Amino acid sequence: MKNTYSATVGVIGTGNFGTALANLLAHKCKRVLLYARNEQKATQLIKTRKNGSHQIADNVEIITDISLLAEKCNVIFPIVPSINFREMMKKLSPYLKPYHVLIHGTKGFDFNEINNKNNALKESKNQIFTMSEVIRQESSVVRIGCIAGPNLSKEIALKMPAASVIASDFDEVIHLGQKYLKSDRFLVFGSNDLMSTELCGILKNIIAVGAGTIDGMKLGENAKSLFITRGMVEMVEIGKAMGGQVEPFLGLAGIGDLIATCSSNLSRNYNVGLRLATGEKLSEITHSMREVAEGIKTIDIIHEWSKNNPIRIPITETLYKIIHEEITVEEAHAYMMKFPFTSEIKFLN
Amino acid sequence: MSQSRPRYKDILKRKKDWPIVNLSQNKKTFLDEVSQNVFTNLIQGDGRKTLHEELETTIYREKQRVINNPWRVDPKDDLTFWKRIQKKQLAIKKSKDKITIEKEILKEIIDRYCKEIVGSFNKSSYRFAKRITTFGFARLLNAARVKGFKSIFSRQLDLQDQIHVVGEPEQLRKLAKIGTIVLVPTHFSNLDSILIGWVIQFLGLPPFIYGAGLNLFNIKILAYFMNSLGAYKLDRRKKNPIYLETLKEYSKRALEWGCHSLFFPGGTRSRSGQIENSLKLGLLGTAIEAQRSLISDHGKQAKPIFIVPVVINYQFTLEAPSLINEHLKRTGRERYYRESDAFSNSKKITTFLMKFFTKKSDISVSIGRGLDVLGNYVNDQGQSLDQHGQVIDIKDYFLSNGKVNVDKQRENTYVQILSKKIIEEYYKNNRVYSSHLVAYTAFKMLERKNTKLDLYSILRLSEEDLTLDYEAFKKNFKKLRKVILELNEQDKVDVNDKFKNKADESIIYGLNNVGMYHAKRPLIKAKDQILILNASTLYYYHNRLEGYGLEKYI
C-alpha cells in the first residue's frame, strides 16, 4: 500500500494535525512537502525529524518557500489556525492557479471587524467567514474542500485507526482527498455539503470547552451526557441559522467529532474547560498552551454574531460569561440547571 | 436630449464574415454535427434509464402533446410522425436486432428536433428587420412627438434619444472582435428581444443567435422579427431529455462555431417584477462546455467565450398587470390560472409601441463588464482577471493533473458559480429610477401600516385604506434614497441622473413615470396625500428594489 501515487502533495502548517496529516499522506504519496512558516522550527524539524509525539515520515520534506509548494503540488492541505489563515492565504495566493485543489483542516472562523460608524448601512457590521470562503476571497482557487471529523492528532501519531469526512462542492476534490488519505487505518467519507461540514468542526469546539468544565467539576457522566446532547442541539441551531443543513451534524464531522473532543484530554478545547473549572484564569491557560484552542475564539465570535441573530444560545452565552470572568463555573452550572429548555429537539421538523 | 451620442461602426464590414452567416450557409454540416454529438451522448447515457425506457416515455409524451396541446407553429406532420415512430417502436419487440432499431429511432427523433430548433437567418430579411427597428421606430417617434404626420421624415428624434445604452459598450465591441459573446440580459417584457436586437445592431455588432420561446412564433409579427434576427426555437412544452440534450448541443455547437449568442438566463419573464435571483443553468452550462471543448481542441489558440450581463431598465412593463396576477396566483397556490397576455396578438403590440413612442419615458440598457465563463472579469484584451487583477488562464479551470478533462459534475458546479456572479452583476448594474423608489416606498409603507395582514389581504384592502400621508411618504423616500445612494457609492447599484434631484421633484418625476402606460395608474398624488389606485401593480414595481435589504430602513 505504501507510496501508491507518484504525486507530490503539500501541507501547510507544522502543528499537531498538520504533521499527522503529512504523515498520513506520506503513506500513500511519493512525496509530501510540509511548509513551515517559521525558519527556526523548520531547521529543528529537519534536524530531529520529530514534531512532538510525531515521527516525521521519510518522504516528508520540510520547506520554508511557499512558492515552491504551489509550484510542485496541485493538491494542498492548509492546516493553520484560523487567526493566521487569511494572512497565510495572502502569502500563498500569488502562486496559486485555478487548477490547484485546496483542502483545509482548520476548525475556526475568520472574523472581520469593520468599524464604519458613519455608515448608514447596518448589514456590514461584522463579517464572519469560513476558511473555504477565505480561500475564495483571497485566491483564484475554486476547487476547495475541507477535512473534518474525530482526528485527535496524538492517536493518529500512534497509528491508531480513525476516520474523516472530506467535504466539497466538487466530486473530484473528494475523490482526490480519498485517494491520497484512505488507508487501512484511516477511513475517508465524502460529503457535498462543504459549508455545513465546516460549521460542524467549528461549532463543536464550543461544546468541547463546556464538556471540559463539567468534567473539571466532577459532575459525573449523566451530567456530561446531558450537556453534550444539549450542546449538539445548540450547534445545530446555530449551524442552521448560519445557513447550514442538519445532516452533516449527525455524521462523523458533527456527532463523531463531538464525542471525541468532549471525552478526551487530548483535545485542547476540552482541556481549556477542564482547567477553567479548577479555577485557572483563561489568560494563564492560553499562555501555557503551545497551540491555539479555537473554541475560545469561536465563543467570542458566536457571541458577537448572536447580537444580530435572534436565536437562543444559552450554552455559548454562559461559556462566554465564564471566559470573560463575569460568572464562575459553579454559578454557570447552577444557571444551566435552571434554564427553561422547552422542547427537546426541534430541528428535525 | 441634445447631447451627442456616439454612432458605432460595424465591427465586421463584410456580411459574409458574420459567424451567423457562416452558420446559415453551412446549416447542413452544422446540424449533422449537432445531431451526431447528441446521438453519441445519449447512447452513452447517464445510467438512470435505458434507451428503451427513454424512447418509450418520450414518444408517449410527444403524442399526448400533439393531441392535447397543439400550436399553430407546430409542423403539419406532427401527429403522423409520432404515430409512425410509435408504430416502429412497438414493432421492436418482435424484431431480433432491437438495439439497432432503437438507435435508428433515436437518430430520427434527434434529426427532427434539430430541424425544429434551427433558425432561419436570412441576410436580406435581417436588413429589412433592422431597418424597421431603427428607422421605422424613429419615424414613428418623430411623427408622434414632433409635429404630426409631416415630420415623419424628420431626423430630429430617433431611437437613441429614447434608449440609453450605458455601462461598457466599448468593451463589448472589443471583446466581440476577440472572442464569442454570450449576452445575458434580465427579462421583464416581451419587448426585450426586440430591444436587445436593436442594441446589438446599434453597437455595430453582427447579429446574435438566441433561443426564443416557440409560443412567440405563434404571433406572426414577432415570428417575422425573430426569424430575421437570428432566433432559434425553444419549445417549453417538450421537457424530455432527448429534446433538452439537442437544444443544449445546438447552443454549445453554435458557440464553438463562433456565433455570438443571447440567453435570457432567467428563463421566462420575471413574473414578480423582481430582478432574477435564480437562473436556468442548462443553457449557461453550454457556454462552459463550449469553452472547455474549444480549449481541448485548440489549446492556446482557443477562442475565448465572454459572458456579458445586461440589465434592461424600464420604468414600466406593458405586461405588468398580467404578469403580477400570474405571479400572485402561483404563489397563492390557486389551482387554476389562465395565461392571459397583453402580448397575445399583433394589434395589441402595435398599440403598445405607439404608446411607448408617443409618451416620454426613458429606457436604459446597462451593458455590464465582460466575464469569462467562470464569472471572472476580463480586461479589454479578453484576458481573465482574478480578484487581485492578476491575469489568469481560463484553461487552468479545466485541468486535472496538467490535462484538460471532461468532468460533468465539476462543470455543473462552475455553472452555479457563474450564475451567482451574473446575479450579482444584475443587482450592481440595475439602474434605480425615482419611479422604482416611489413604488417601493409606498408599498413598504402600506405593509408597515398593516403588519398583521399577509400580502394577499394587503392587495385586497379597500380604497380608504389605500392612502398615505405625503409628508411621511416624503420622509421615507428621502431616507431610502440616502441608503440607495450609499449603495451606489459602494458600487452595489446604479442610479439614474434625475434620482439626485430635490425630493419633491424626484417624487413627482417618479409618480409621473410609475406604470404610466397602464389604464389604471398605480400611484398618484392628491393634495397632501398619496393614493394607491392599484395595489398589485404597485407591488410589481416595488419588487424591482427587493433584494437590496432596503426593508430594514423603513
Query: What is the SS3 assignment for B467?
Result: strand
Note which residues in 99-128 of chain A have CB less than 8 A from chain B. Answer: 99, 119-123
Cα A43 from Cα A53, distance rounded (Å):
17
B12 part of a folded domain: no
pLDDT for B24 equals 83
Residues B170 and B100 in one domain: no
Residues B319 and B341 in one domain: yes
Residues B329 and B224 in one domain: yes
B129: which residues sit within 8 A by CB, 6+ positions away? B197, B224, B225, B228, B229
Read off the pTM: 0.89
Strand partners, B399: B404
Residues B501 and B532 in one domain: yes
Nearest C-alpha of chain B: how many angstroms from A301? 23
Q: What is the rounded average pLDDT of the residues B106-119? A: 92
A122 is catalytic: no
Contacting residues of A for B396, CB less than 8 Å apart:
97-99
**Residue A180, all three cell numbers:** 491520497
Residues B261 and B368 in one domain: yes
Cα A63 from Cα B456, distance rounded (Å):
65
Candidates B399, B410, B486; nearest CB to A121: B486
pLDDT for B138 equals 57
Q: What is the rounded average pLDDT of the residues B462-485? A: 93
The chain B residues in contact with chain A (CB within 8 A) are 374, 376, 386-388, 390, 392-394, 396-397, 399-402, 407, 409-410, 413-414, 416-417, 482-483, 486-487, 490, 549, 552-553
**Cβ separation of B386 and A139 shorter than 8 Å?**
yes
- Grade residue A233 by pLDDT with cuts at 50, 70 and 90: very high
pLDDT for A347 equals 75
> To 10 degrees, what angle do helices B434-449 and B470-489 make?
120
CA quadruple A304, A307, A311, A312: dihedral sign: positive
Q: What domain range is B161 assigned to? A: 121-429
Query: What is the SS3 assignment for A60?
Result: strand
A191 in B contact zone (CB under 8 Å): no
CA-closest candidate to residue B258, choices B284, B210, B294: B294
* Amino acid sitting at position A235: M
Q: Which of B96, B117, B138 is the last residue of a domain?
A: B117
Task: Please name the residue of chain A whose CA is at the shortest distance from the CA of residue B392.
Answer: A97
> To 10 degrees, what angle do helices A220-241 and A194-216 make?
150
Q: Which of A204, A224, A321, A338 is catalytic?
A: A204
Asked whether A147 and A103 are in contact (CB, 8 A), the reply is: yes
Burial of A296 (C-beta count, 10 Å sphere; 0-12/13-18/19+): buried
Q: Rounded to 5 degrees, what are φ and ψ at A197? A: -65, -40
Note which residues in 153-172 of chain A have CB less than 8 A from chain B. Answer: 169-172
Q: Which of B91, B117, B143 is the last residue of a domain?
A: B117
Q: What is the mean pLDDT of chain A?
A: 91
pLDDT for B134 equals 63
Could you list the beta-strand ranges (E) of B423-511.
Answer: 431-432, 467-469, 494-495
Cα B528 from Cα B70, distance rounded (Å):
54
Domain span(s) for CATH 3.40.50.720 in chain A: 5-192
* Amino acid sitting at position B362: D
**In CATH, A205-338 is 1.10.1040.10:** yes
**Residue A234, all three cell numbers:** 445548540
Taking the alpha carbons at both ends of chain B, their separation in whole angstroms is 35
CB pairs under 8 A between A and B: 56
Total tally of structural domains belonging to chain B: 3
- Say which DSSP state A10 is in: E
**Cβ separation of A97 and B401 shorter than 8 Å?**
no
Residue B371 reports pLDDT greater than 90 = yes
- Around Cβ B75, how many Cβ atoms within 10 Å? 12
Residues B126 and B258 in one domain: yes
Residues B337 and B410 in one domain: yes
Cα B294 from Cα B249, distance rounded (Å):
14
Residues B447 and B422 in one domain: no
Asked whether B397 and A99 are in contact (CB, 8 A), the reply is: yes
Q: Which residue is listed with cell 416620454?
A: B360
B35: which residues sit within 8 A by CB, 6+ positions away? B107, B110, B111, B114, B246
Q: What is the mean pLDDT of chain B?
A: 85
Residues B202 and B291 in one domain: yes
Cα B532 from Cα B441, distance rounded (Å):
12
Candidates B374, B388, B401; nearest CB to A74: B401
**Cβ separation of B397 and A123 shorter than 8 Å?**
no
**Cβ separation of B392 and A97 shorter than 8 Å?**
yes
- Say which DSSP state B214 is in: G
Asked whether A240 and A196 are in contact (CB, 8 A), the reply is: no
- Grade residue B348 by pLDDT with cuts at 50, 70 and 90: low
**Cβ separation of A140 and B413 shorter than 8 Å?**
no
Q: What is the rounded average pLDDT of the residues A316-332? A: 92
Residues B132 and B189 in one domain: yes
**Cβ separation of A172 and B487 shorter than 8 Å?**
no
Least confident among A8-12, A265-269, B333-337:
B333-337
**In CATH, A5-192 is 3.40.50.720:** yes
Q: Report the CATH number at residue B370.
A: 3.40.1130
Task: Please name the residue of chain B whose CA is at the shortest distance from the CA of residue A7.
Answer: B401
pLDDT for A114 equals 55
Alpha-carbon distances, residue A222 vs A140, A211, A228, B321 (angstroms): 49, 12, 10, 63
Contacting residues of A for B386, CB less than 8 Å apart:
139-140
Residue A86 reports pLDDT greater than 50 = yes
**Cβ separation of A99 and B400 shorter than 8 Å?**
yes
B201-236 confidence digits (pLDDT tens): 889 998 888 887 787 777 777 777 777 777 888 888
Q: Which of B429, B448, B471 is the last residue of a domain?
A: B429
pLDDT for B3 equals 45
Q: What is the rounded average pLDDT of the residues B156-160? A: 55
Q: What is the rounded average pLDDT of the residues B381-406? A: 95
What is the CA B524 to chain-centroid distance, rounded?
31
* Amino acid sitting at position B270: S
Residues B539 and B469 in one domain: yes
Residue A46 reports pLDDT greater than 90 = yes
Residues B171 and B261 in one domain: yes
B294-326 confidence digits (pLDDT tens): 999 999 899 999 999 999 988 777 677 778 888
Instruction: Give the whole-number percent of chain A exceeding pLDDT 90.
Output: 78
B37-77 confidence digits (pLDDT tens): 999 989 887 666 788 888 999 999 999 999 999 988 888 89
A98 in B contact zone (CB under 8 Å): yes
Q: Rounded to 5 degrees, what are φ and ψ at B534? A: -145, 100
A71 in B contact zone (CB under 8 Å): no
Candidates A98, A123, A137; nearest CB to B549: A123
A273-290 confidence digits (pLDDT tens): 999 999 899 999 988 988
B151: which residues sit within 8 A by CB, 6+ positions away? B142, B143
